[in-house]
Structure 1
Amino acid sequence: MVSSVSSIFILFTLVFGDSTVSGFAPAPRRATPNTAVHLIPSGSKTTVAEPRETSTTPSETNDLATRLQTSSFSYVDFAQTNPFANNLLIATTKTAAADFLAQTVVAQVPLAEVDWQRSLLFCLFGCLYLGGFQYFYQVQVFKKSFDVEGFTQQSLSEKLVDTQGLQALAAQTALDLTVLTVIYLPTFCIFKASVFGGTGTIDPATWISTGLHNYQSNFAKDEWDLLRVWFPADLVCFSVPLYLRLPVRHIVSFVWTAYLSFSRGGH
């Protein structure tokens, strides 16, 4: 009996090997065909490669900043570089838009019944007078006649104690109100007569006589409205930096033009 068991044990050992004898441990799992097996020697350390940093030279950084600054639009830079074109664009667009607003919003005229001839009047007046003549005398003439640059570049506290600057501010305001009274209002009336003349002929003499007659007829009311709007507005306009003088003025002028369109823009 013992010999039979011994024979079976020896045969079992020869077939399955020593590992089964020592503990009957299962055979190691085979790796699947698609599984890669990597053998790492014992005691070795695994390292993770860090991403390489790309270096940028100072010249490349400066070139990039220059391209970004060049491609971006700055209204302040445009106004400083092209003051006349900036003023012409604002004046023309502003007067046409103010008249359109007065017709469609204030007077509540349907869009199909908008008086485009009247809009043409304000567009031409804004371009020629406000955009051209106003820029000439308020920037070019005032710049040569008064110390405009020095006063407008100061802070508010410095302006309040600058006696000569305040005197120049008062002189500019008085001169501008005079121009508005004796040139602006009659010119607008003449422009209006040229557009709404109704004769169908080009007769500048008739335009002038009709315009001046309307100017005299409405002088009292128009002058009072002009003074109470433009006296405080001029004090502000002639105190800001020179390149912002007319843009700031156009903000007030937009409301004034809308009023003028509503009260004096009709036929």
Structure 2
Amino acid sequence: MGALRRAINIIKAPIMAAGKAYNDVAQRAPMYTGVVTTVVKTSAADLFAQKVVEGRDEVDWRRHSMFLMFGFGYLGCWQYYLYNNLFVRWCRPITDVFGHMGSAPVKVFIDQCIHHPLLYFPCFYSLKGLVEGRPLAESMADYKEHMWENLKALWMIWVPAQMVNFTVVPLHLRIPFVAGVSFAWTVVISVMRGAMDKTPPKPEEVVAQAAQAAQSVTAASTSVSVGRTGSQGISLQPLLNSATASADCPEDMKPGAQGPVGLQQLVAPAEQESASGRMLLR
């Protein structure tokens, strides 16, 4: 047990030292630390989604730059101001009376039912459309079309995560905590966006593909018919007759007689060779 405890301490020591150093930096410069952490996290999450989850051969750098911009401007700068300033001021009367356990549900409700549906997703789709060169109206239509499935995915992760964040996480570590949980969320939304970007084929393309497939089937059928017509002069009947020859057969069809070579003549030498082989083995 002593050796195991020492091994655990050796492994734990650098992790604890890194965590303490990160915490010290976050206390001295909470916004700077939160923004840098968010940008690094967003970049890593999208690269993971593209290369590992989606299995892309090449990175979509336009999509990646969109995530970096979103990570810096919205997830880093704006959410730091929202969570560490506005939420604290708005919910201070509740926190003073009921503590963080009392104000956390209110903050989660504002965050998940007002902030994200009305601000987070519109900004996300607007920036995405800007990077892709699409008009704002089209981006907003895309946002409305996928809002419900996005919210379901959002609430599965962020309702419990934000309850923990607003209840027990220190103020200077709230954005880093969000960044850590957001790694999983960014992978989810990145994969969802990649899957939704695959435009289905147009109706005329489907008709053209079906016509081409029909022509291929017709050509294959014609080729088979021509092959059958060209092989009508070849008959397997002599092979079958010779294989089933009996004393009632004509002399030229009995085994050993001169005539068409049948299955019996083909099999018999092989059987004789097999018997010779068994004798040699003995």
Q: TM-score, structure 1 length as denominator?
A: 0.61
Aligned equivalent of 1:246, options 168, 171, 175:
175
Aligned equivalent of 1:213, options 121, 137, 141:
141
Tell me, in whole angstroms, the C-alpha distance in 2 between the residues paired with 1:215 and 1:249: 23
Greater helix content: 2
Task: Tell me by how many angstroms 1:88 deviates.
Answer: 0.8
Tell me, in whole angstroms, the C-alpha distance in 1 between the residues paired with 2:164 and 2:152: 19
Partner in structure 2 of residue 260 of structure 1: 189
Partner in structure 2 of residue 172 of structure 1: 107
Aligned-residue sequence identity (percent) comes to: 32
Larger-Rg structure: 1
Tell me, in whole angstroms, the C-alpha distance in 2 between the residues paired with 1:265 and 1:193: 14
Tell me, in whole angstroms, the C-alpha distance in 1 between the residues paired with 2:64 and 2:161: 25
Task: Tell me by how many angstroms 1:145 deviates.
Answer: 2.1
Distance 1:127 1:245, change over 3 A: same
Task: Tell me by how many angstroms 1:186 deviates.
Answer: 1.3
Q: Retained in 1: the 8 A contact 2:25–2:33?
A: yes
Check if 1:226 corresponds to 2:161: no
User: Secondary structure at the residue paired with 1:109?
Assistant: coil
Aligned residues: 174
Tell me, in whole angstroms, the C-alpha distance in 1 between the residues paired with 2:99 and 2:161: 20
Task: Tell me by how many angstroms 1:143 deviates.
Answer: 2.0
Check if 1:94 corresponds to 2:44: no
Unaligned runs of 5+ in 2: 1-19, 198-282
Report the AA paired with residue 164 of structure 2.
V
Partner in structure 2 of residue 17 of structure 1: none
Tell me, in whole angstroms, the C-alpha distance in 2 between the residues paired with 1:103 and 1:164: 42
Aligned equivalent of 2:51, options 84, 90, 104:
104
User: Secondary structure at the residue paired with 1:170?
Assistant: helix
Q: TM-score, structure 2 length as denominator?
A: 0.58
Residues 70-149 of structure 1: pairs in structure 2 closer than 5 A? 74-110=21-57, 113-147=58-92
Tell me, in whole angstroms, the C-alpha distance in 2 between the residues paired with 1:164 and 1:123: 36
Task: Compute the RMSD of aligned alpha carbons.
Answer: 1.9
Task: Tell me by how many angstroms 1:265 deviates.
Answer: 4.1
Partner in structure 2 of residue 25 of structure 1: none
